[in-house]
Amino acid sequence: MIREFKEDAIGVSALIARTLGETNIRDYTEEFIENDVKIVTPEYLIQNSYWTNSYDVCDEDKIIVCGSIGPYWGKEDESSLLRIFVLPEY
């Protein structure tokens, strides 16, 4: 099920942290990953949801994918995909 990001900030933050730590660690330093995890807090995600269209994909009640669509460098006629993360086992 695809649903609009509303009150899933804690779950989405955990998904991002886990994915960064398990998958992205192959391409980035541990310090880089730790800094990203510190930034992408539930509060940060809530603030970003005010200017993006953010969605979750769920397998029953489990969030397995998250992502957002937002303006491309402030342009009103272009968009970009932001913060797309998939649970590692999927």
pLDDT, one tens digit per residue, over 48-84 is 999 999 999 999 999 999 999 999 988 889 999 999 9
Q: What is the pLDDT of residues 9-43, one digit of tens each?
A: 999 999 999 999 999 999 999 999 999 999 999 99
Mean pLDDT, the chain, whole residue set: 94
Residue ranges per structural domain of the chain: 2-86
What percent of the chain shows pLDDT beyond 70?
100
Quick one: fold of 2-86? Answer: Aminopeptidase (3.40.630)
Which two structure tokens, joined as six digits, stand for 80?
């970009």
Residue 75 pLDDT: 87
Question: Mind giving me the DSSP string for 20-50?
Answer: HHHTGGGTS-HHHHHHHHHHS-HHHHHHHHT
The answer to whether residue 5 scores a pLDDT higher than 90 is no
